[in-house]
Amino acid sequence: MEFSQRLKRLQFNVFADMDRAKSLARTAGKNVIDLSLGSSDLPTAGHITDTIALSLTDPKTHGYLLFNGTKSFREAAAIWYEQKFGISVNPETEVLPLIGSQEGTAHLPLAILNPGDFALLLDPGYPSHAGGVYLAGGQIYPMPLLAENAFLPVFDDIPQPVLAQSKMMVLSYPHNPTTAIAPIAFFEKAVAFCRENELVLVHDFPYVDLVFEDSVGAVSPCPSSEEQRKLMAPSIFQTDRDKSVSIEFFTLSKSYNMGGFRVGYAIGNSQIIEALRQVKAVVDFNQYQGILNGAIAALTGPQDTVKTSVETFRKRRDAFVHALQDIGWQVPIPPATMYVWAKLPEPWALDSVKFCTHLVQSTGVAASPGAGFGKSGEGYVRFALVESPEILAEAVRRIAEFQVASISKSA
């Protein structure tokens, strides 16, 4: 049986490959500590699940859900955004519900690119960003993210012939996997660059709330709205306030621990939103109305669980990083996200896939190889902080034993 050529470019997926490695480790009797996938282990808040449960008894929620039926959710998303960033949003023309933000970032290239067009992507970056470009028949120009540049791309390094064929740029900060935060000044440059070169600017923003206060500084005891916004990761629309070239993707997976419910949304330029809506119209309807009811409860209800989740990940971050440093693995403290991005020690510095495969086989500790996120991710490994501090400490203990054994074999 012969399949399409586009599948050849989708064969390597970091999560699928590590899933196979974890399965083999379990078959071999290992107790797996899975730090490879950024799926929050924290529970969805009760007022959200109660709303979804109540919807189940309402037969009006049991049918297909078309765009006009999502009005209440779109209004809730617009109000949430305006309250958070002080920028107004039209829920009729500038908001689009999504089955998770990943669905939106993967489908958008079908609306933007013609075959052969370039998309400018972060390297390393989230795999679905590349997957959507490949499915659209586009080409990828990887923008390297290096530690010496604070893991921000250098726009001047993009070759002019590539730029001439480019239609879109994808950014995502706070960044998965490097955990970097982009300052407002960088977004100002990005918006100006995209306007000048007629590019659609895509900002994937799943970690909007997962920013640790100790990384952005403190404010007064009674902060103003503007002071509070300085503590947050910036939105692209703080620099593209008239939404001239941009679209931004949000998810409830991280802030509200709703990963399994697959609910997100896009806010952006009305023409870009309409183009993405056209693609969605021939691929899917929307998710179950009860899930959107739960999402409305999340966006409009008490936000204390968001703060609790952030504090939980901060404590895990501190415990894990300090434990790694205690065994001699010097890892910087992440300013945001639920990850630790660690430069690999010898003898593994040039083969992150081999390191992660051997680590899970030998110890049961599963991590994601940096090479799975792009060429510039080689030499790094990503740990997801999705276990308690006690289990994270056990993971580090096993890693220490693995390091000793590795050094002995290489001696």
Interval 78-133: pLDDT, tens: 999 999 999 999 999 999 999 999 999 999 999 999 999 999 999 999 988 999 99
pTM: 0.92
Which residues does 292 contact at the CB level (< 8 Å), separation at least 6?
Answer: 65, 70, 72, 73, 97, 263, 286
Q: Which pairs count as long-range contacts for 274-278, CB under 8 Å and 24+ apart, including other chains?
A: 274/93, 275/111, 275/112, 276/96, 276/104, 276/107, 276/108, 276/111, 276/247, 277/67, 277/96, 278/111
Question: What does 132-146 look like in DSSP terms, one character per residue?
Answer: HHHHTT-EEEEEE--
Top-level class of domain 5-43+304-406: alpha beta
CB 238, CB 184: distance < 8 Å: yes
CB 294, CB 51: distance < 8 Å: yes
Top-level class of domain 46-300: alpha beta
Residue spans in the chain of domains classed CATH 3.90.1150.10: 5-43+304-406
* Inter-CA distances, 194 with 33, 146, 201, 244, 360, Å: 42, 21, 6, 10, 42
Read off the tokens for 40.
Answer: 């929050």
Report helix, strand or coil for 392. Answer: helix
Per-residue pLDDT tens for 162-204?
A: 999 999 999 999 999 999 999 999 999 999 999 999 999 999 9
Of 282, 259, 325, which Cα lies nearest the Cα of 102? 259
Tens-digit pLDDT profile for the chain (411 aa)?
A: 888 888 777 766 667 777 888 888 898 888 999 999 888 999 999 999 999 999 999 999 999 999 999 999 999 999 999 999 999 999 999 999 999 999 999 999 999 999 999 999 999 999 889 999 999 999 999 999 999 999 999 999 999 999 999 999 999 999 999 999 999 999 999 999 999 999 999 999 999 999 997 665 433 333 444 544 555 799 999 999 999 999 999 999 999 999 999 999 999 999 999 999 999 999 888 999 999 999 999 999 999 999 999 999 999 999 999 999 999 999 999 999 999 999 998 778 789 999 999 999 999 999 999 999 999 999 999 999 999 999 999 999 999 998 866 654 554
C-alpha–C-alpha distance, residues 38 and 68, integer Å? 32
Residue spans in the chain of domains classed CATH 3.40.640.10: 46-300
